[in-house]
Amino acid sequence: MKRIACPGCGALVPDSPGPTHRYIGAPAQCWALFGEVLAREYSDFRYASVHQLTVDSYAAQHPGEPSRQSIQSVAVHLISLHLMLERGYGSRQATKAVQRATTLENVFEWLDPPESLGAVTIEHVHGARDAAAHQERVREWAAAVWSAWKPYHETVRGWAKR
């Protein structure tokens, strides 16, 4: 089967039809990998501790095209990554901060995605064989995605302060 590079993360995935998200920029089979990783995190408490990092990493690595929804999505997921990776927030604390940020009107702007959105992809996480490896891989992925958006760190930090 022909494989294609995901335009977001670069993962090589089968070029086959299937459901996608309406504003997250991912082909069907990359979206399916994400769904399988989420299913693992929802079905076994040992995986849950990194769930927020999984969601934030995937969304920030698949920004899609400029629209009100994709602009807000990228912004809030980058804010969450910033809060958890740089400021040490737990996922609940980061989620509350992000919820407050989404009430601000006309604050977020489209960020032209960096040329590379990080060398680590959902494939790396999907391949984990146990909970410990999964957690480690998600943390590596989150760090790589946050690092990829480095040109916008000050913008994101400013959004988080509001």
As a whole number of angstroms, the distance between CA 152 and CA 26 comes to 22
**Spatial CB neighbours of 33, under 8 Å, sequence gap ≥ 6:** 11, 13, 122, 123, 126
pLDDT in tens, 83-116: 999 999 999 999 999 888 888 766 899 999 999 9
* Tokens, residue 35: 């769904």
SS3 20: coil
Q: What is the value of pTM for the model shown?
A: 0.95
pLDDT in tens, 38-95: 999 999 999 999 999 999 999 999 999 999 999 999 999 999 999 999 999 999 999 9
Residue-number span of the structural domain to which 155 is assigned: 3-161
Q: How many domains does the chain have?
A: 1
Place of tokens 């916008």: 152
**88: burial class by Cβ within 10 Å (0-12, 13-18, 19+)?**
exposed
